[in-house]
A and B are shown apart, each in its own frame.
Chain A
Amino acid sequence: MGSKQTVFTHEQLEAYQDCTFFTRKEIMRLFYRYQDLAPQLVPLDYTSCPDVKVPYELIGSMPELKDNPFRQRIAQVFSDDGDGHMTLDNFLDMFSVMSEMAPRDLKAYYAFKIYDFNNDDYICAWDLEQTVTKLTRGELSAEEVTLVCEKVLDEADGDQDGRLSLEDFQNMILRAPDFLSTFHIRI
């Protein structure tokens, strides 16, 4: 308890608990993980809400993210500026959404953002190409990739506008029962 008090005030911790899917203990654990990423950067006292960002390079080197093909997108989506540099809030947000407890809608919303590479609020063919390339490590030929993208659009594009809106995406996610368990990073 003593160490907790020095890092966060009681109110801070309570706010974090209410805003994330974590317990007090998990929040502390996440904080220490965060702090470990850049011990010289992140202070051990957060009571005054210091404005600290851990650069993406360190975030991306976490074992949980290091080999994830979408690590960069994840970091970008959850960072304030879209540059992947994360404050503690961003960090907690990220793992909260990726936690087991987060509901499907919330996960789908952020998954959509992650797959929407150009941030135009639609997953268009180009976004899909990026996704497929990342997923397959560029093993597929260009034609194959385009074909796959066409197929995906064919399958999931409800309103036939040639790109996936958030709604399309959610509908598709509903049909993929694996999504809830796979869009999950254990910490």
Chain B
Amino acid sequence: MSAYYKNNRSEEDQGYHDYSESEDYPDFPAPLNNPDDPRTRRNPYSAGSRVSPDYPVSLAEPDYPGSLSNPDHPSTMNHPFSATSRISPDYRRSVAEPDYIELQRNPYHPSSSRQPDSSQFQQNPDVAYSRSSGNHADSRTNPDYFGSLPEPDYPGTQSNSNHPGSRTNSTHSGSRRSIEYAGSRINPYTDSLGEPDYPGAKNQHNSSHFWGEPDYPGAKDYQNSPDIWGEPDYPDAENGHDYGSSEAPEMTRGVLSRTSSVQSMFHHRIDGPLVIHRRENEDYPENIEMTSMEMTDSYGHSLPGAPRKGYVNPAYVGESSPVCAFENLMLSECDWHKSPEGQKLIASLIPMTSRDRIKAIRNQPRTMEEKRNLRRIVDKEKSKQSNRILKLNCCTQCLHSISRAYQRSKNSLSEFLNTISLWQKTLKIIGGKFGTSVLSYFNFLRWLLKFNIFSFIVNFSFIVIPQLTVAEENTLQFTGLEFLTGAGYFRDTVMYYGFYTNSTIQHGSSGASYNMQLAYIFTVGISLVICFFSLLFSMAKYFRNNFINPHIYSRGIAKLIFCWDFTVTHEKAVKLKQKNLSTEIRFLKTHSNPGAVLLLPFVVSCINLVVPRFYSMFRLVERYEMPRHEVYIILIRNIFLKISIIGILCYYWLNIVALSGEECWETLIGQEIYRLLLMDFVFSLADSFLGEFLRRIIGMQFITSLGLQEFDIARNVLELIYAQTLVWIGIFFCPLLPFIQMITLFIMFYAKNISLMMNFQPPSKAWRASQMMTVFILLLFFPSFTGVLFTLAITIWRIITYLYWQITEGRKIMIRLLHEQIINEGKDKMFLIEKLVKLQDTEKKVNPSSLVLERSEVEQQGPLHLGECDAAPGLRFRQSVQEDNSRA
């Protein structure tokens, strides 16, 4: 920081005394110089470029102010540019710093939250530098701001009259800029289009291609130059954004922010609140909330193209590079397209079909103006291309116009469909009052309605209308009761199948015939098929949208916070929602709820409890001769139930839990099985003691006709089988499971025993016990045990393959390391040999007499050296190949 100040001071000393003194702002002068110096102007973003070693050097150059005319200046200017574009982390850091400064200024800002930032940049010299510029900017801002209040044109005079006079290089830069502009204007992108690939933000080399000039930022300069201030000083996108749309009424504010933020975004960030605060108070005094908000928000639309780390969507590529930040000055909305990202995007858009292109443009996170320009440019390019290549081919032109017409008709169709979208207003009100959750029900209802409307239209037009043309007179009486019964009068109407004729309808002798039978079948069939497919597609769509990866659903608080329901617009509802949210947050805060994992076993056990009973009730309807058959039937039913439950669970464990990338999914499954087993046990116990007991009470006391119940063998056996299956599955994941099962079986035995004694009557029918036992064991073996074996096999296989995979991965890493080692050793040898040769040379010079002695040594070394030299390019080549690979 101090270094930077010094730097400024030194600049000042070099020839701007007069200026600063005449202005009479003691703290001012250094910053004031900066705006005019294009290099300093770039300081803010060169925060990123500071990674490159030579940038600080260039900063430290004594002839700093004169560097504009310096021939190497373009390269230094380029440097930050390219560096930032490549090394975005640093850039980001520099962007983040203003917060710190702001924090110092802004009373609303809790300092604790910013601590990481501040520490970060205190450690980092680079950042310290940019911080200093921030502060320095700030020091400038306030005087500027206050000073300009009484005399609004102060900044203008300051920049226009003083600077050019005192410095030639500022005008120089101006003229240069315009030249660049001209250049850039001539070949905005046509040149670049000729290029096979759009280089992106990789380096200045490419940008120089674009502009035909080494000085890439020149284009940016141009963007600023038409500005009334003629200042080359709006370096970052943030500020530029503001200027871009500044208009006459806001001029004074614009002036303020402009002049004060001449240097960097830091400025702007700092004086933003002030400016807007004032403005708000002037213009809209009633809006107090806004002003306080504006303290932080005023920077508003800033950093439109600020770096985004790892932003994956290719559509947003433009955003991911700071280059965009430079280019995204609003003054020239169209200029975004000229940036490498814009070019890239345009290039990628051109080969698309018009539908995809429109979609891609729509999905751009840009302002309307930018999107519109993008669209215009792409269209122009497209037509140019097609003119160039396909001038002679009228057929393609024809196709083109057809596709256009199709597009248009599709648009109007969707417009038409939109007009018939039902209950738009009502849904809005419902959503506004009750939120999306309630709304979803109505949406579903509406969706079903659409289905039915479709079916009705199809049926009506293809079945009912033809039938009506040949309808016979209805002779039945209509009493009104038919509305309830649906019979009577309606029997002989188009309502029912029986009314439709099974003949071919033909009007007149020459009229077209209509086969009613075929029509009936096909209409119903086709409408069902269409419904099926649309159901399928909408289901797929909903799944895609809502269940992209359900196993990573967060139950957490973040969802609560960021999923505010924007549909809710009703004041009361909003308040209620806010209240709910705060209670929910409080609840979440206090309860992390470890019991939630018990939900699954609970549900499974409930199913196990209820459904078999339901099956048992079938007994009342189906009367079997042999009790054995009855048991078997029930067994089979229950077995399907249990198999499906266990199957689903296994699928869930093996395909979702196992692949979810948890630390140790085997343990998770073991826990799950343990819970299931325990829950099952608890349910069985409760069932024995409560359910069966209650049943006895009811049977004995209240409904004596029911009498005592009989012991349901099938159900109870299956419960055991189910538990045993679980144990077998879980034995791999939880080796102590048999022990637990042992205990539970032990307890169950006594519990069932007591329950049986108390609550049941002996079976009224004879059983063949030995056969039944066989069946039980068969059941235990076949679905249960083989299933378990299968599951385990899958598990083990998966683990083994995983192990192998790990091993191969490890070997790959090993190979790479060895490779690197070989390369490094080669380098080492080269280095040593060079040293040796140098040493020998110097020794020869110093001591020529020893030449004779050492010659033999040199000769010995010679061939070796040559060999190394030969080997070196090979190594290098390999290395570069490797690098390419890793990059790819």
Task: Spell out A's residues near B (CB within 8 Å).
Answer: 15-21, 23-26, 51, 53, 55-57, 63-70, 72-73, 76-84, 87, 89-90, 92-93, 96, 98, 102-106, 109-111, 115, 117-122, 124-126, 128-132, 135-137, 139-140, 144, 147-148, 151-152, 155-156, 161-162, 165-167, 169-170, 172-186
B562: contacting residue among A90, A115, A130, A162, CB under 8 A: A115
Taking a contact as CB atoms under 8 Å apart, the answer to whether B558 and A156 are in contact is: yes
Q: A77-B300, A172-B558 are in contact. Are A182 and B113 (CB under 8 A)?
A: no
Q: Contacts of A53 on B, CB cut-off 8 Å? A: 247
Among B112, B562, B569, point to the contact of A169 (Cβ < 8 A).
Answer: B562
Contact B316 A68 (CB under 8 A): no
Contacts of A176 in B (CB 8 A): 554, 558-559, 562-563
B310 pairs with A19, CB closer than 8 A: no
Asked whether B299 is an interface residue with its Cβ less than 8 Å from the other chain, the reply is yes
A82 neighbours in B (Cβ, 8 Å): 241-242, 297-302
Q: Which of B247, B372, B561 has the most CB of A within 10 A?
A: B561
Contacts of B727 in A (CB 8 A): none
Question: With A18-B375, A69-B574 in contact, do A167 and B585 touch (Cβ < 8 Å)?
Answer: no
Contact A126 B427 (CB under 8 A): no
Partner of A120, one of B99, B414, B570: B99
CB pair B415 A81 closer than 8 Å: no
Q: Report the bound CA distance from A162 to B113 in whole Å.
A: 9
B582 touches A111 (CB 8 A): no
Given A66-B569, A131-B561, check contact A140 B113 (CB 8 Å): no
Residues on the B chain within 8 Å of A57, using CB: 284, 286-287
A25 touches B419 (CB 8 A): yes
Tell me if B368 and A186 are in contact (CB < 8 A): no
Within the complex, the shortest CB–CB distance from A150 to chain B, in Å, comes to 10
For residue B306, CB closer than 8 A to chain A, the reply is: yes
Residues B563 and A182 in contact, CB atoms below 8 Å apart: yes
B20 interface residue, CB < 8 Å from A?
no
Beta-carbon contact of A24 and B415 below 8 Å: yes
CA distance A32 to B436 in the complex (A): 27
Beta-carbon contact of A175 and B316 below 8 Å = no
Q: Which residue of A lies closest to B419 (CB)?
A: A25
Instruction: Give the interface segment out of B509-517, B545-553, B651-659, B878-886.
Output: B545-553
Q: Which residues of B contact A126 (CB under 8 A)?
A: 109-110, 113-114
Q: Are the CB atoms of B561 and A128 closer together than 8 Å?
A: yes
CB-based contact B589/A144 at 8 Å: yes
Q: Is B113 within 8 A of A125, CB to CB?
A: yes
Cβ < 8 Å to A, chain B residues 300-317: 300-303, 306-313, 315-316
**What are 8 contact pairs spanning A and B, CB under 8 A?**
A15-B376, A57-B287, A81-B300, A82-B300, A129-B113, A167-B309, A181-B440, A182-B567
The answer to whether A19 touches B290 (Cβ under 8 A) is no
Residues from chain B with Cβ under 8 Å of A156 in the complex: 554, 556, 558
Residues A136 and B300 in contact, CB atoms below 8 Å apart: no
Q: Which of A129, A139, A182 has the most CB of B within 10 A?
A: A182
Chain B 265-286 interface mask (CB, 8 Å, partner A; 1/0): 0000000000010000001101
Q: Is the CB of B562 within 8 A of A25?
A: no
Minimum CB distance partner of A163 in chain B: B116
Q: Is the CB of A177 within 8 A of B296?
A: no
B299 touches A139 (CB 8 A): no
- Say whether B582 contacts A137, CB under 8 Å: yes
Q: How far is the CB of A42 from chain B (nearest CB, A)?
A: 15
Which residues of chain A are within 8 angstroms of B367 by Cβ–Cβ distance? 80, 89-90, 93
Q: B760: shortest Cβ distance to chain A, in Å?
A: 49
A64 nearest CB neighbor, chain B only:
B569
Closest to A72 in B: B293
Interface-facing stretch out of B355-363, B636-644, B855-863: B355-363
Instruction: Specify the chain A residue showing the minimal Cβ separation from B437.
Output: A178
Q: Distance in Å from the Cβ of B358 to the closest Cβ of chain A?
A: 5
Instruction: Report the minimum CB–CB distance from B431 to chain A (whole Å).
Output: 6
Is there a chain A Cβ closer than 8 Å to B122's Cβ? Answer: no
* Neighbouring B residues of A93 by C-beta, 8 Å: 367-368
B793 nearest CB across to chain A (Å)? 33
Q: Shortest CB–CB separation between residue A173 and chain B, in angstroms?
A: 7
B571 beta carbon closer than 8 Å to chain A: yes
A186 pairs with B581, CB closer than 8 A: no
A70 touches B557 (CB 8 A): no
B565 within 8 A of A: yes
Q: Does B436 contact A83, Cβ atoms closer than 8 Å? A: no
When distances are taken between beta carbons in the complex, the residues of chain A under 8 Å from B589 are 144, 147-148, 151
Contact (Cβ within 8 A) A121 B306 = yes
Q: Which residue of A lies closest to B276 (CB)?
A: A83
A101 to B112, CA, bound (A): 40
With a cutoff of 8 Å between Cβ atoms, the chain A residues found around residue B109 in the complex are 126
Residues of B contacting A185 in the complex (Cβ-Cβ under 8 angstroms): 566-567, 569
Residues of chain A lying within 8 A (CB to CB) of residue B250? 81
Please state if A151 and B299 are interface contacts (CB–CB under 8 Å): no
- A120 in contact with B440 given A73-B297, A93-B367 (CB within 8 Å): no
Q: Please, how many angstroms separate the alpha-carbon atoms of A121 and B14 in the complex?
A: 39
Could you list 4 further interchain pairs (A-B, Cβ under 8 angstroms) beyond the known A72-B297, A137-B575? A69-B578, A76-B300, A119-B303, A174-B552
CA distance A131 to B297 in the complex (A): 13
Q: Which residues of B, 522-555, contact A by the 8 Å Cβ criterion?
A: 545-549, 552-554
B494 to chain A, nearest CB (A): 36
B365 contacts the other chain (Cβ, under 8 Å)?
Answer: yes
B289 contacts the other chain (Cβ, under 8 Å)? yes
A161 to B120, CA, bound (A): 12
A89 and B559 alpha carbons, distance in the complex (Å): 31
B307 x A79 contact (CB < 8 A): no
User: In the complex, which residues of chain B have a beta carbon less than 8 angstroms from the beta carbon of A167?
Assistant: 308-312
Chain A's closest residue to B592 (CB) is A151
A148-B306 in contact given A15-B372, A63-B569, A80-B330 (Cβ < 8 Å): no
Which among A25, A89, A155, A178 has the highest number of chain B CB atoms within 10 Å? A178
Q: Which residues of B contact A64 (CB under 8 A)?
A: 569
A173 to B286, CA, bound (A): 36
Q: How far apart are the CA atoms of A66 and B572 in the complex, in Å?
A: 12
Give A23 to B290 CA distance when docked, in angstroms: 33
B886 to chain A, nearest CB (A): 21
A102 CA to B342 CA in the complex, in Å?
A: 22
Whether B95 pairs with A121 at a CB distance below 8 angstroms is: yes
Flag if A19 contacts B306 (CB, 8 Å): no
A67 to B311, CA, bound (A): 32
Residue of B110, B242, B290, B585 touching A148 (CB-CB under 8 A): B585
The 8 closest A-B pairs by CB, nearest first: A82-B300, A89-B368, A136-B582, A177-B546, A125-B113, A80-B245, A82-B301, A19-B371
Q: How far is the CB of A44 from chain B (nearest CB, A)?
A: 19
Is A152 a contact of B557 with CB atoms below 8 Å? Answer: yes
Residue among B300, B361, B369, B428 making CB contact with A79, cutoff 8 Å: B300
> Which of A83, A96, A161 has most B Cβ within 10 Å?
A83
Residues of A within 8 A of B96 (CB): 120-122
Contact of B308 among A66, A92, A147, A165 (CB under 8 A): A165
Q: Of A51, A78, A119, A182, which is within 8 A of B566 by CB?
A: A182
Q: How far is the CA of A83 from the CA of B368 in the complex (A)?
A: 17
Q: What separation, in Å, do the CA atoms of A150 and B95 have in the docked complex?
A: 23
> How many angstroms from the CA of A183 to the CA of B567 in the assembled complex?
7
